[in-house]
Amino acid sequence: MNDAHQSPDPKGMTVSAAPDEAKSSARAVDSLPELVRFHKVTKSFGEGPLARVAFQDVSFLIEDLPNEGELIAIVGPSGCGKSTLLRIIAGLRPHFPPTSGEVKVFGAPITYPGADRGMVDQKYSLMPHLTVRDNIAFGLMLRGMRLKERCDRAGEWAKKVGLEGCEDKYPSELSGGMQQRVSIAATLILQPKILLMDEPFGALDPKIRMQMQELLVQLWKEQQSTVFIVTHSVEEAIYLGDRVLRMAAKPGRLVEILQLPRPDISPEMMRRKPWFTEISQELLLRLETDAPASGELPGSDKWR
């Protein structure tokens, strides 16, 4: 097998492996059910000489950690296939199905998008003619939930994401950060087991972005879902990620999986820790140079 998966680490805190080296997982006890498995997955768009490889030979395994969930950050240069990877998990065409290899979610092959997987992207995907409440409740309406119940639930979610009092507003009346909160609430209200986020905070200014990161961590702990988040920000990946999947381009591929500590302080405080800066710089360097998998991040002993 060829799964890129954490190597056992004596200190229980690290590290990755290049896809070829990985054999078993630090936290993976054999009995843990599989959540998402990629096995030698390649995706090309088009055929013949015009075929364009989005990524090739990607293998990894994310286990279902009971009552816990995990936050998986995906980083890599533009065009290395991050969005394609996420959309394959979501079962969205034309990215899905992959050209070759095997993708399983909850131990079974993916056949179509499902309520067990929710997607949030940078464009917020809100319906402009619906209020905040109706946008948040939209998925519940499709599921046939009664008006009163879905409005109550949407109200609860508006509160959770800090939009109390804005329930009757329309998306055009909201800032980018607020729109993204609506989008997150509209997805999480459906309680997906897997939350897929494609650069969700990319369009937000740094302060709002940090607030959203904190909110995400809080909601994720409450929901105990597993989150895949594609981000351009190394700091965001390190703050949010339990694991970071580092990809490289030309051809798109998975290079390594790094294991990181869980945030127990705000992003602002975490950024002030010297080890955080050290690790951020190292990850940035690895990204810029497309460095081969090189194991533990220097400085990772400091957070222990």
**Chain residues that interact with Mg ion, rule: CB under 5 A:** 83
Closest approach, Cβ 74 to ligand ADP, in A, equals 8
Q: How far apart are the first and last CA of the chain?
A: 32
Closest approach, Cβ 83 to Mg ion, in A, equals 3
- Answer for which of 82, 150, 181, 243 binds ligand ADP (CB under 6 A) is 82
Residue 52 within binding range of ligand ADP, rule CB under 6 A: yes
Residue 80 within binding range of ligand ADP, rule CB under 6 A: yes
User: Among candidates 143, 142, 118, 138, which has minimal Cα distance to 128?
Assistant: 138
Closest approach, Cβ 88 to ligand ADP, in A, equals 9
C-alpha neighbours within 13 Å on the C-beta side of residue 179: 21
- Answer for which of 31, 78, 172, 289 binds ligand ADP (CB under 6 A) is 78
Binders of ligand ADP among residues 229 to 258 (CB under 6 A) are: 252
The Cα–Cα gap between 61 and 28 comes to 10
Q: Residue 148: CB partners within 8 Å, gap ≥ 6?
A: none
**Angle 58-91-99 from CA coordinates, rounded to 5°:** 45
- Answer for which of 6, 14, 84, 233 binds ligand ADP (CB under 6 A) is 84
From the list 5-13, 80-88, 186-194, 277-285, the region that binds ligand ADP by CB under 6 A is 80-88
Residue 94 interacting entry, from ligand ADP, Mg ion, none, C-beta within 5 to 8 Å by type: ligand ADP
Residue 79, sorted as left (phi over 0), alpha (psi -120 to 50) or beta, turns out to be left
What are the residues facing 224 on neighbouring strands? none
